[in-house]
Amino acid sequence: MLTYAIRRLLIAIPTLFGVVLLVFLMVRLAPGDPAVLLAGEFATPETLRAIRERYGLDRPLPEQFLLYLGALLRGDLGESARSRRPVLEELKTYFPNTVELAVAAILVALLTGIPLGILAALRPGSGLDLGVMTLALLGVSMPVFWFGLLAILIFSVNLGWFPVAGKGTLAHLVLPAVTLGVNATALLARMTRGTLLEVLSQDYIRTARAKGLRERVVVFKHALRNAMIPVVTVAGLEFGSLLAGAVITETIFAWPGLGQLLVGSILARDYPVVQGAVLLVATSFILVNLLVDLLYAWIDPRVRYD
């Protein structure tokens, strides 16, 4: 197991290198002179020259890349071209907030989606089952943007139950977490229902029932544990994508996360921040995937990687 983990980590390195190279190229090949964007629309040629000099934008591309790579290996992610703060500092300010939101969202998904899926699987074909499946369909189809704004209008403006936006108390976390988690909730509900139904039709379940075990024990002790394996996997992967994809939710709820930083930086061609942020997201994604695979092997004794 350990060797497997180490091997996976080693493979991650060339992957990350590829990510760095790709982002570096994409950001620089995008049309639009970054010096003009950074200097502002009223800047004179002198200011543009000064900015180009400062950020090495006038050097040849391969040289810029090597300089960046060298700095990266020393732990220096450069400084934001807009705010002139170290990129690492910017990331440290915004990323934890995104993690907080993603964790809250996945918790919402786990605590709501899985029970709903279980209920539906225990009464297949019933009205409850149909209801849950319809809700799930809505959940994956609803645009996050629309849902978020609707949530604000109903629960904040009209009912006054929650604050409108921003980060502060636990109350501030509720609406954004629910909004971000809706898709994942629906997904997990469907998955849970599907895998549990499949497991419940297995022979060993029939054996358990024949042994005379109470239905609750059959379901929760035997069936569920096996059904959870793929669900956990999917939940882990969803978490990884929540980390990367919270931009819309963060924008609507003014949540100070990485998504906001990233969008602003892309529009302003703030290269160092874009590169740093994407690298961070890619690294997190790789780590989360690795953890999910290890978790999977730990839960299901049949899975062996070596």
Site residues for another protein per CB under 8 A: 30-34, 36-37, 39-47, 50-51, 54, 82-85, 90, 93-94, 97, 149, 152-153, 156-157, 160, 163-167, 251-254, 256-257, 260-261, 264, 267, 269
CB closer to another protein out of 70 and 96 = 96
| Minimum distance of another protein from residue 155's CB (angstroms) | 11
| Minimum distance of another protein from residue 269's CB (angstroms) | 6
CB closer to another protein out of 146 and 220 = 146
Count Cα atoms within 13 angstroms, Cβ side, for 188. Answer: 28
- In the block, tokens 């022979």 appear at 203
Identity of residue 255:
W
3-state secondary structure of 86: strand
- In the block, tokens 């996360």 appear at 257
Give the 3-state secondary structure of 122-176: HCCCCHHHHHHHHHHHHHHHCCHHHHHHHHHHHHHHHCCCCCCCCCCCHHHHHHH
CB closer to another protein out of 56 and 264 = 264
CB closer to another protein out of 84 and 216 = 84
Q: Which two tokens stand for residue 190?
A: 């469907």
| Minimum distance of another protein from residue 143's CB (angstroms) | 14
State the distance between the two ends of the chain, measured CA to CA, in whole angstroms.
7
Burial class (CB in 10 A: 0-12, 13-18, 19+), 273: buried
| Minimum distance of another protein from residue 285's CB (angstroms) | 22
| Minimum distance of another protein from residue 163's CB (angstroms) | 6
| Minimum distance of another protein from residue 215's CB (angstroms) | 47
Question: How many CB atoms are located within 10 Å of the residue 137 CB?
Answer: 12
CB closer to another protein out of 84 and 211 = 84
Question: CA–CA separation, 218 vs 223, rounded Å?
Answer: 6
| Minimum distance of another protein from residue 208's CB (angstroms) | 52
| Minimum distance of another protein from residue 286's CB (angstroms) | 26
CB closer to another protein out of 32 and 125 = 32
Please tell me the chain's helix, strand, coil percentages from 3-state DSSP, rounded to the nearest 5: 75, 0, 20
CA-based nearest residue to 122, from 199, 52, 175: 199
Identity of residue 64:
Q
CB closer to another protein out of 33 and 58 = 33
CB closer to another protein out of 33 and 63 = 33
